[in-house]
Amino acid sequence: MTTLYDPISLGKLELANRIAMAPLTRNRSPKAVPQAITAQYYAQRASAGLLITEATAISQQGQGYADVPGLYAPEQIAGWKRVTDAVHAAGGRIVTQLWHVGRVSHTSLQPGGGAPVAPSAITANTKTYIIDAEGKGGFVATSQPRALELAEIPGIVADYRRAARAAMEAGFDGVEVHAANGYLIDQFLRSGSNHRSDAYGGSIENRVRLLVEVMQAIVDEIGAERTAIRISPVTPANDAADPNPQPLFNYVVEQLARWPLAYIHVVEGQTGGARDYQQGDTPFDYTALRVAYAKAGGKAAWMLNNGYDGEMAETAVASGRADMVAFGKPFIANPDLVRRLREKAPLNPWDTTTFYGGGEKGYLDYPTLG
């Protein structure tokens, strides 16, 4: 019987166990550059089979929150190289999550103070995190976006390609495309945020077009075996909405089956909330989603996420429902989470007041066993 602690191969990656650290926004990268404490933070957690970094912007236009990292400037690549070196020295494996926030941004974060971009000029009913002129951080309403011109979309795809190449230069073992949680690719997928009438709007096939083009560009650049993706079929995060997600995401995974990807990362339910959350009239069938992927010839590892504890994760892997399980907030407070799960040891509680912004407190100072 396969266990959570057995090794697994993901594309070209050989992982020590089936526990992943989920991407977690921490807002500790001033000027979008990862710091020395970032390297220490990830190295502390290198016992995970796979570390997935906090979401990392592919361009300044893709930035949506203050002090989150990027992968579009030399100093950012150098900052991430310190991180990957530290993780590899600790025996870990690490991929970066490539991010364009789309409409989930603020004019103060955009080039020239311009409007954020989106599939359609529909403001997201959510908030973002900025730092004011006095250096004080806080959450504010997102700005009114503008709809991307058709001629601009190839440039977005090119930004993803360049960021994937930058990730390789920074020493990452691969990339995970962020197509979840109401950010740009997810905005194109969902009818609630995509009201376009051109080749990128209307039908499911059209709304999935940007995702397919981005994935193809990255696969062409760094290879499918180093490429992964994260999706969240029913989450309402960042005002994501679609009344009929099952056929939409079944089609998404059928398209993903064309490449031998490293893994597909599925957020079940409401990100950070109820696992049984649903959009539309019927509960989402995650088993049917995986069947659709396999039927289309998909071979990538299947990673599940959202509210798992050790027992749930062990059951999911033992049953074959998941090949890997990603843990989020428990990894913030427990650098040695793999050991604690294996030994059934109690977990440290996390401090939500230090999640976004700050220094070492709530970042580097959580105790380990012994």
206-213 average pLDDT score? 99
Rounded-to-integer distance, Cα 359 and Cα 356, Å = 10
Q: Identify the pLDDT of residue 132.
A: 84
Q: Identify the pLDDT of residue 133.
A: 81
Note the pTM of the prediction, 2 decimals.
0.98
pLDDT, tens only, 22-80: 999 999 999 999 999 999 999 999 999 999 999 999 999 999 999 999 999 999 999 99
User: Is the distance from CB of 279 to CB of 285 less than 8 angstroms?
Assistant: no
> What are the structural domains of the chain?
8-354 (3.20.20.70)
**pLDDT of 137 over the 90 cut:** no
Q: Identify the pLDDT of residue 257.
A: 98
Q: Identify the pLDDT of residue 43.
A: 98
pLDDT, tens only, 163-193: 999 999 999 999 999 999 999 999 999 999 9
**pLDDT of 162 over the 90 cut:** yes
Q: Would residue 72 show up in a list of annotated catalytic residues for this protein?
A: no
Secondary-structure breakdown of the chain: helix, strand, coil percentages, each rounded to the nearest 5: 35, 15, 50
274-283 average pLDDT score? 94
Choosing from 42, 160, 183, 308, the catalytic residue is: 183
CA atoms within 13 A on the CB side of 360: 8
Q: Identify the pLDDT of residue 346.
A: 98
Rounded-to-integer distance, Cα 134 and Cα 148, Å = 33
Rounded-to-integer distance, Cα 317 and Cα 247, Å = 26
